[in-house]
Amino acid sequence: MNDPSFPEAEIAPLDEAARAGWLYYVGGKTQDQIARQLGISRQRAQRLVARAVAEGLIHFRLDHRIARCLELEADLRRLRGLRICRVAPSLGAGSEPVRSIAPVAAAEMERILDVPDPLVVAVGTGRALRAAVEQIHTFKCPQHRLVSLNGNISPDGSASHYDVLMRLADRVSADQYPMPLPVVASSLEERELFHSLTPVRRNVALARQALITFVGVGHASDTAPMLRDGFLSEPEFREIQAAGAVGEIVGWFYDESGQYLDAEPNRRVAGVRVEPPGDSDKLVIGVAAGVEKIAALRGAISGRIINGLITDEDTAAALLA
Largest CA distance in the chain: 67
In a domain, 211, yes or no: yes
Output the CA–CA distances (angstroms, integers) from residue 59 to 15, 54, 106, 139, 304, in the order listed. 16, 11, 11, 17, 32
pLDDT band at 52 (very low <50, low <70, confident <90, very high): confident
Whether the predicted model's global pTM rises above the 0.85 cut? no
In a domain, 173, yes or no: yes
Label each residue of 158-175 as H, E or C: CECCCCCHHHHHHHHCCE
What CATH number did the domain enclosing 16 receive?
Answer: 1.10.10
User: What DSSP line would sit under 52-83, residue for residue?
Assistant: HHHTT-------SPPHHHHHHHHHHHHHH--S
pLDDT band at 9 (very low <50, low <70, confident <90, very high): very low
The whole-angstrom separation of Cα 243 and Cα 181 is 25
In a domain, 114, yes or no: yes
| One domain for residues 29 and 133 | no
In a domain, 3, yes or no: no
- How many domains, the chain? 2
In a domain, 224, yes or no: yes
| One domain for residues 172 and 278 | yes
In a domain, 274, yes or no: yes
- Residue 303: CB atoms within 10 A of its CB come to 17
Residue-wise pLDDT tens digits, 147-193: 999 987 777 777 666 789 999 999 999 999 999 899 999 999 999 99
What CATH number did the domain enclosing 105 receive?
Answer: 3.40.50.1360
DSSP-assigned beta bridge partners for residue 184 = 269
DSSP-assigned beta bridge partners for residue 310 = 86, 287
Which of 34-38, 103-107, 143-147 has the largest mean confidence? Answer: 143-147
| One domain for residues 194 and 216 | yes
Beta-strand pair 175-177/283-287: unpaired
Domain hosting residue 34, numbered range: 8-54
- Residue 195: CB atoms within 10 A of its CB come to 14
In a domain, 124, yes or no: yes
| One domain for residues 187 and 261 | yes
The whole-angstrom separation of Cα 133 and Cα 59 is 12
| One domain for residues 76 and 217 | yes
| One domain for residues 141 and 251 | yes
In a domain, 181, yes or no: yes
Percent of the chain with pLDDT over 90: 73
Mean pLDDT across 247-269: 97
Asked if 285 and 84 count as a contact pair (C-beta separation under 8 A), the reply is yes
3-class SS of residue 201: helix
Q: Cα 22 to chain center, whole Å?
A: 26
pLDDT of 23 higher than 90: no
| One domain for residues 107 and 167 | yes
| One domain for residues 71 and 14 | no
| One domain for residues 71 and 40 | no
| One domain for residues 72 and 195 | yes
